[in-house]
Amino acid sequence: MTNTTEWISRSVSRLRSAAPAAEKASKAPAPRSTHERLQATLRRGNEALSPRALRRLLADLQEVVAPQVSEIEGGRRAQAVAAWYAGAEPEERRDMWLLLCEQFAPDATRFQSARQRYEAAAGTADEGQAEISLRRALVSPRTRLMQRFAVFPEGMRFLVDLRAELLPQLKSDKRLVALDADLEHLFSTWFDVAFLELRRLSWDSPASLIEKLIKYEAVHDIRSWADLKNRLDSDRRCYGFFHPRLPNEPLIFVEVALVDHISSSITPLLDEAAAPADLKKATTAIFYSISNTQPGLRGVSFGDSLIKHVVETLTAEFPRLRTFATLSPIPGFRAWLGKNAGAMLERLDDKRRAELGRALGAEPPQAAQLLAAADKALELDARSPVRQALLECAACYLGRELQDGKPVDAVARFHLGNGARVERLNWAGDPSAKGMKQSYGLMVNYLYDLKRIDKHRSLLAQGKIPVSNDIDSLCRV
């Protein structure tokens, strides 16, 4: 009875202490929509623009897409809004995003009516016209407004940068997702590969363009001008996709080494003192770095087309090339193993578990001990059971692990989605601090077998990751 009384007393006490906080939270007003703010007189709380300033900005945006305004004049007015935006504070910019989302949405009544007409016309001679009306009803004023921003010379740059700024805010404010969706849809059309130009970047390219390579390199940091010159040497190629409205900005670029075998380590490829390879003996193109440069174009895929175009260009220049492969990082492996080491140990048979336990100094081996030993991966010899275990874990990570039908590793997702297969794991392929942090120094070759790209894509669509026999054997242990 006493215990029951004490429990009730503690519970009531906690409820009383929590009540003021809950009451305070419940009194916190929800953010006002732009519809409410436009009707108000005074700003409230943390609102950036006053109702008056918000109405003025809305009027400026409406003038951009006014029916009587030409494309050129609309572009000029959009440019004036962009100039205001450039000088605005982050929260003021957010208010403009909200106006775009809430004040330039599709007409719900018009859409509902068009949908009903389309459903009624299904299977009749009027179905085609009803579909056209439905499509037009789905086009929001927001889309037309964004198209006007693309008219002035720096308009495309403005929209790409706007989306880059918008993307990190989507999780915290779902009201912004419609604007993001419209921008992604427009970009997927405007940046279609048919409108892109493949250009080779060399040491003779303009300095401003070469500096962009240093700025945007996302896989292996360029440490110096000597490092950059090495990557642009005679046995190397670097190509980028360019858009006519962003002529001096590579949207994505790839660095290629021309060699006589599939590379197993990034170290010799980045060795500034190494002599250039003999191009007459080159049979293999190694894609060792692919970098997207524009965060605002997330979701717009260039990689597949870039690799295809580069393969065609290289084959025309070097007819002896027969093998096209990558030397790629495994950025998600370390984090994955940290969560799954225990499960991987449970898959071992008694003999393997005992061998690993002896190597780790504890039987049966535990996940924490395996992870601790993995931190010293570069010290392990070729016959080490710990080394073998890490290779098997990496093979399973790359060759078996799927999430929503796609490989869990971001780089694997990219290359396997483009039709490559997991070819070979490379121990100590990247012994740098970054390589150790990502994957205990492991790297992987993805092979682009040009005759089997469609087959590999088909396998992936069926939930089967295409792998070589070596990788498959490691996965089966």
List active site positions: 328, 415
Q: Are 329 and 437 in contact (CB under 8 A)?
A: no
With a CB cutoff of 8 Å and minimum separation 6, the contacts of 26 are none
* Distance, CA of 63 to CA of 405 (rounded, Å): 46
CA 228 to chain centre: 25
Quote the CA–CA distance of 81 and 75 in Å, as a whole number: 10
Q: Which amino acid is at 156?
A: M
Q: Counting every residue, how long is the chain?
A: 477
Residue 375: name the closest of 299, 331, 440 by CA: 440
Percentages of the chain per state (helix, strand, coil), in multiples of 5: 55, 10, 35
Query: What totals of helices (H) and strands (E) does the chain contain, helices first?
Result: 22, 9
The DSSP code sequence of 331-396 is TTHHHHHHHHHHHHHHTS-HHHHHHHHHHHTSSS--HHHHHHHHTTGGG--TT-HHHHHHHHHHHH
DSSP-derived 3-state class of residue 211:
helix
Let me know: does 77 contact 63? Beta carbons within 8 Å.
yes
Sheet of 323-326, strand order: 197-200, 236-242, 252-259, 284-292, 323-326, 443-447, 421-426
> Considering only CA atoms, which of 14, 94, 18, 21 is closest in space to residue 54?
94
Residue in the block written with tokens 């490379």 = 426
Q: What amino acid occupies position 33?
A: S
SS3 label, residue 118: helix
Cα dihedral across residues 78, 82, 84, 88: positive or negative: positive
Give buried/exposed letters for 371-402 (b at 16+ CB in 10 A, else e). Answer: eebbeebeebeeebbbbbbbbbbbbbbbbbbe
